[in-house]
Chains A and B, each alone.
Chain A
């Protein structure tokens, strides 16, 4: 998905998305067609939008929240791998 399509999908101003990219909250792939957002990038963008617009998470706190959520998902993955081995 291109940057333009993502903006339409999210309904946020272009400069908001620019900030997210600048802060590396979103890390899309770079191709000759420009930035390309994969499924995980799109889902993460929706999450960032929810955090910002509905939960009042400000720019300062966003780093922290995303870091914790990524750790949580990393842990969940490690745990699910462990479960596979135990079975």
Chain B
């Protein structure tokens, strides 16, 4: 890296105002966006702005003059200039053909070419528009019809397909911004957020649920009502079920891609009566001494 005073073309004694004016003068000549055809402008401008960053900061300049820091490491990070985008194509909001509009009127090849590119721009397709939509967990499994209200007050009907996953993006063809001229409209891209349901957890096509059961249901078995995303169903709890016993409700999960459904797994959780029941306590006190096996015999040693 060259000496920053040299880069700016000023004496080491130059005032801050002189440095600024030297910078502005050179920057006007070297700024890549003011010299879109000059490939070397970017490199030169980088060097210039690095030198200016160093010398325009009184503290840094003092340290540089005292030899505490050198000019290295003052370069600005790589940046993309406007020219990199603005002349690459002309389908952006800032495109301007007024600099050569008159050349398009002729009947030569050049005019023809300009007319073609102008026409392509006049009929460019519309942009895609991005939206977000939050839906309930149950709707993500069963599918649903939703209506999205857009910022301009209009509405968009969105069909949620059954089995949709959180974060999935739905594309509504032709529902984006209108195209110019004969250009087709863009698409609406809707990112769907599935709101968590405290009861259900989803694992692929399967759904799991923790289901409280009473002591008598666990010991004696019975029929209980279990919620599923498509509504409550009746399920048989077998005799002698325990906390952690997992039962399967076949076909009550999310729809599978190739047809059919996943399953819902119901994990039982035995809940003792509250408040504690004296009759039960009396019974268990009498019963446990004789019958209960030692659950912790392996841990005892």
Residues of A within 8 A of B (CB): 27, 29-33, 36, 39-40, 42-44, 46-47, 50, 54-56, 66-67, 69-78, 80-82, 85
Q: List 23 A-B contacts (CB under 8 A).
A: A27-B94, A31-B129, A31-B130, A32-B131, A32-B150, A40-B82, A40-B94, A43-B80, A44-B85, A44-B86, A47-B33, A47-B81, A47-B82, A54-B23, A55-B31, A56-B24, A70-B86, A71-B99, A73-B82, A76-B87, A77-B89, A77-B90, A78-B117
Closest A residue by C-beta to B177: A29
Q: Is the CB of B82 within 8 A of A72?
A: no
Is A67's CB under 8 angstroms from B132's CB?
no
Q: Which residues of A contact B36 (CB under 8 A)?
A: 72-73, 76
Q: Could you tell me the distance in whole angstroms from the C-beta of B187 to the nearest C-beta in chain A?
A: 13
The answer on a CB contact under 8 Å between B117 and A81 is yes
- Does B269 reach chain A (CB closer than 8 Å)? no
Chain A contacts of B24 at CB under 8 A? 54-56
Binding site for A on B (CB under 8 A): 23-24, 27-28, 31, 33-34, 36-37, 79-90, 92-100, 109-110, 113-114, 117, 127, 129-132, 150-151
Residues of chain A within 8 A (CB-CB) of B83 are: 73
Known: A47-B81, A73-B87. A82 touches B110 (CB 8 A): yes
Given contacts A69-B33, A70-B94, contact A77 B82 (CB under 8 A): no
Cα distance A76–B24 in the bound complex, in angstroms: 25
Does the CB pair B84–A43 fall under 8 Å? yes
Please give the distance in Å from A50's CB to the nearest CB on chain B: 6
What separation, in Å, do the CA atoms of A46 and B129 have in the docked complex? 25
In Å, the complex CA distance between A38 and B150 comes to 21
A76 in contact with B37 (CB, 8 Å): yes
Beta-carbon contact of A40 and B85 below 8 Å: yes
Q: Which residues of the other chain, B, contact A27 by a CB distance below 8 angstroms?
A: 93-94
A32 to chain B: which residues have CB within 8 Å? 130-132, 150-151
Q: Would B92 and A40 count as touching, CB distance under 8 A?
A: yes
* Further pairs besides A43-B81, A47-B81: 4, Cβ < 8 Å: A39-B80, A47-B82, A69-B34, A73-B83
Q: Are B127 and A75 in contact (CB under 8 A)?
A: no
Q: How far is the CB of B296 from chain A (nearest CB, A)?
A: 56
Interface centre among B83, B87, B95, B109 (most CB of A within 10 A): B87
CB-CB under 8 A for A82 and B113, given A31-B131, A74-B99: yes
User: Given the complex of chains A and B, what is the CA–CA distance between A81 and B117 in angstroms?
Assistant: 8
Taken together as a complex, chains A and B put the C-alpha atoms of A6 and B33 apart, in Å, by: 19
Contact residues in B for A30 (Cβ distance below 8 Å): 151
CB distance from A43 to the nearest CB of B (A): 4
